[in-house]
């Protein structure tokens, strides 16, 4: 009789698998705050200027904090822990398609690439959005077009990010959405 079977027989419930810490509170708060601020900014657009500006400035503040935390934060928050080159990202995606990708406790190479892409795009959105609040760039067509194009591209990245979370959760048996709330992932074979 296995330990789980014995536990079920004596207590009527199964043991939860051991969990380990993956993401610190700052990373999780940043993530969900960014989701809220980005959605608020996108949903209000030109319609509710005050909310749009508050959400936009919130995104700027969050980006600054996350970029700093990417250099001085906890192990899995640091860029050095998850930013990989194009070859590593392509290899990880290939292995994922073949259902044999290595499991990572922190972000996998594709997730790291997505984080960099999102931070870059959000920085472009924030910079052009700020520019549009100044006298020098108010109404300048290329700034407005760059801002809107960056938002559209970011929405595409968000869709890919969500798809990647679903696929990685399936391939590795993790619930990554839950992990981004709790900060904990299932213990097991993984790369630190």
Contact between 126 and 143 under an 8 Å Cβ cutoff? The reply is: no
- Round to the nearest angstrom and report the end-to-end CA distance of the chain: 32
Instruction: Write the CATH number for 91.
Output: 1.20.950.20
In a domain, 18, yes or no: no
In a domain, 103, yes or no: yes
- Tally of domains within the chain: 1
In a domain, 174, yes or no: yes
Calpha distance 133→18 (Å, rounded): 50
Domain of residue 51: give its range.
23-185
Calpha distance 3→14 (Å, rounded): 9
In a domain, 152, yes or no: yes
For the whole model, what pTM was predicted? 0.85
Reported as a single tens digit per residue, the pLDDT across 99-145 is 999 999 899 999 999 999 999 999 999 999 999 999 999 999 999 99
Look at residue 2 in the predicted model and tell me its pLDDT. 43
In a domain, 8, yes or no: no
Task: Quickly count: other Cβ atoms within 10 Å of residue 129's Cβ.
Answer: 23
In a domain, 139, yes or no: yes
């Amino acid at each position: 009789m296995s330990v789980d079977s014995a536990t079920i027989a004596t207590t009527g419930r199964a043991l939860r698998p051991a969990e380990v810490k993956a993401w610190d509170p700052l990373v999780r708060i940043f993530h969900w705050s960014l989701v809220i601020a980005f959605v608020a900014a996108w949903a209000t657009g030109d319609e509710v200027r005050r909310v749009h500006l508050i959400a936009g400035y919130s995104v700027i503040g969050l980006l600054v904090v996350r970029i700093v935390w990417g250099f001085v934060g906890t192990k899995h928050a640091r860029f050095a822990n998850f930013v990989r080159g194009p070859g590593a990202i392509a290899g990880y995606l290939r292995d994922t398609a073949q259902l044999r990708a290595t499991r990572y406790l922190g972000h996998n190479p594709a997730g790291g690439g997505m984080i960099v892409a999102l931070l870059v795009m959000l920085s472009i959105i924030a910079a052009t959005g700020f520019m549009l609040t100044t006298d020098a760039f108010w109404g300048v067509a290329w700034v407005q077009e760059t801002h809107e194009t960056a938002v559209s591209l970011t929405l595409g990245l968000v869709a890919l990010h969500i798809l990647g979370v679903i696929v990685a959760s399936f391939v590795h048996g993790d619930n990554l959405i839950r992990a981004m709330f709790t900060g904990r992932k299932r213990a097991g074979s993984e790369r630190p």
